Structure 1
């Protein structure tokens, strides 16, 4: 009898496991996940000042499913230089916008269709569009919406564009 109970328990566990794993994987892939942000490129918005503590953010995949981002959003994307790495940057300009670059090979860039211009908040400490140019929207991974950890950093991440980084010409609002 005890052996029968054990088998029933294992069978129920396996059924639950084989349902829960695909549901969880699908959720993490399509809806949202969390990620730890490392480095100084997004300071002071993320990882402000403290080198020992990395912010943990909520990455919303669902909100960018149609590549809908706005200027000022903090996004996660596949690095144009290393497809195995994800980077987190702020969207500065969208397709059709003309942007004055900081250290790119040309002083002004018109962002091509299907692309965006991204930069880190910490000027000079960020590997961003000023190094690799406009980024294809196809590399977009998720939008960072909230800081979840550490508790003293808890907040919703607003879409804010530094006034000095406004595009010179905006194609769409």
Structure 2
């Protein structure tokens, strides 16, 4: 009995596809205005980004990275934000209960680029690295926005201990 080629393709293709999505990455739509102007620069556009799972496999993130993570407020939701502080950084918050906070070990501080229009660490505090799922590597759609996403952190949002180090040189 011969197995049709379509069934063979599905039998081998589905597990390979699932493995690639789970270990390498996937394309995701970015909803909302919280990451403007870096993502979704105007209300009439929606960016699709490649979320690279390999880039965060060791749970190492850098200041300025745009990352995807499981929301600390709603575990059924994924959010995308910029890393402002990593463990040990002293961060000046924007409305959090403490005006200045030291990011604990195993955590990071995230914020949306559109200050005041984002549900981020200023609402729920430092985020566990265990919630990290991927790093946004590039914008893949629309074609007019194709680009690699660079690690940029506005100087005004740099952690206080980093600012002091930069000034002393």
TM-score range, shorter chain: over 0.9
Matches within 5 A, 1:19-168: 19-49=12-42, 51-168=43-160
Residue by residue over 1:27-83, the C-alpha shift from the partner in whole angstroms, topping out at 9 and shown as x without a partner, is: 00110100000000000000001x232100000001100001100000000000000
Which segments of structure 1 move beyond 6 Å, counting only runs of 4 or more? none
Count residues with an aligned counterpart.
162
SS in 1 for 2:119: coil
Partner-residue secondary structure (3-state), 1:8: coil
Paired with 1:53 and 1:160, the residues of 2 have a C-alpha distance of: 22
The structure with the largest alpha-carbon Rg is: 1
What does 1:6-25 align with in structure 2 at a 5 Å threshold?
Answer: 8=2, 10=4, 12-25=5-18
Cα separation, 2, equivalents of 1:47 and 1:16: 37
RMSD, aligned CA: 1.1
Equivalent position of 1:3 in the other structure? none
Structure 1 unaligned blocks of 5 or more: 1-6
CA distance in 2, matches of 1:52, 1:96: 39
Which structure 2 residue ranges, 5 or more long, are not aligned?
163-169
Q: Residue 169 of structure 1: SS of its match in structure 2?
A: helix
TM-score, scaled relative to structure 1: 0.91
